Amino acid sequence: MDVLQWAIDPWGHRVPIHIAWFLIEVAFVSAVAFLIVHAAYIRFFAREKQWSGTTAPDVVAAIPERVPRHSLVARAFHWLMAASMLTLLFTAFLPKVGVEFDWVTFHWIAGTVLAASVVFHIIHASFWLDFWAIWPDKTDIVDAIRRLRRFFGQAVPAPRRFAKYPLENKGFHGAIIAAGLAVIATGVFMMFRVRTIFFPRNPYLFTDVTWGWMYVLHGLAGVGLIALVIIHVYFGLRPEKRPITKSMIFGWMSRDFVLKEHDPARWIVTPAAVHPAREEEALRDAS
């Protein structure tokens, strides 16, 4: 079974034209299978989370009851991106599974919104947010290894609590970046193939082979996003993740949840004055 569809171009060359559409079903089924397995694991096998380290009473006292997590601008970006992403997925794949409608115009408009919002996000995150907060650091890796070893029953210290974002969040963000940038970059060029308000049509911008691989990459990233979005929505709805989901709506987390899962030494939410002592204490606990 070929995962790509090929054709012979007018010059007799064998060129890829797009992905095989059964990959839509593969992505959907894979994502649903993942969430079934995950839900079963959490329900029947998962043990209660254990963390190392404590937080000093003065640090706890300094943490507000509602801990700001996402600014209004960041939340607006997230939901705008979510709306455009869902529009893109529905307009791209519903016609392929038999729901026919005039999808192209909605698709490129939603793609334009997504591209513009991502450009904004990159600038906003680079200059107004803590850019590195979403990228895995050494502590994340060490703790991930600890969690894995503990899962297999080895006697290793408990992992530390998370920084602002759990490693899983960071990994998901990385996957979204890869898939999102792939669909945006290829999608912008593909807009040269249809009539839009931005560029005059120019199907000769690239060779047939280059266009073909561009369509393939766009398709692969697209079906990847089907799985990623399903998994993202699933985690957003899980009871233990609801404080994270609510923070994307209201902008804050409760102090209790922050202290339970997040390490104030790694996610600075208190006045700077209390940090040095707290960081020393956290490092001592972690070692």
- Which parts of this chain interact with other proteins (CB under 8 A)? 5, 7-10, 12, 15, 17-18, 95, 100-105, 193-195, 201, 203-204, 208, 211-212, 215
Q: Which is nearer to other proteins, 8 or 145 (CB)?
A: 8
3-state secondary structure at position 1 = coil
Question: Which residue, 186 or 270, is less far from other proteins as judged by CB?
Answer: 186
Q: Which residue matches tokens 């992992």?
A: 159
The distance of closest approach from Cβ of residue 78 to other proteins in the complex, given in angstroms and rounded to an integer, is: 31
Residue at 58: amino acid letter: D
DSSP states along 83-149: HHHHHHHHHHHTGGGT-----HHHHHHHHHHHHHHHHHHHHHHHHTS-GGGGS--HHHHHHHHHHHH
Decide whether 165 or 211 has the Cβ nearer to other proteins: 211
From the CB of 28, what's the least distance to other proteins, in Å?
Answer: 22
Nearer to other proteins, 95 or 251 (CB): 95
What would the two tokens of residue 261 be?
């899962």
Min separation Cβ 93 and other proteins, Å: 15
**Whole-number minimum distance, CB 30 to other proteins, in Å?**
25
Of 240, 223, 233, the C-alpha closest to 30 is: 223
The token duo for 150 is 């503990």
Q: What is the C-alpha separation between 203 and 193, in angstroms, rounded?
A: 5
In whole angstroms, the minimum distance from the beta carbon of 167 to other proteins comes to 38
Closer CB to other proteins, residue 206 or residue 234? Answer: 206
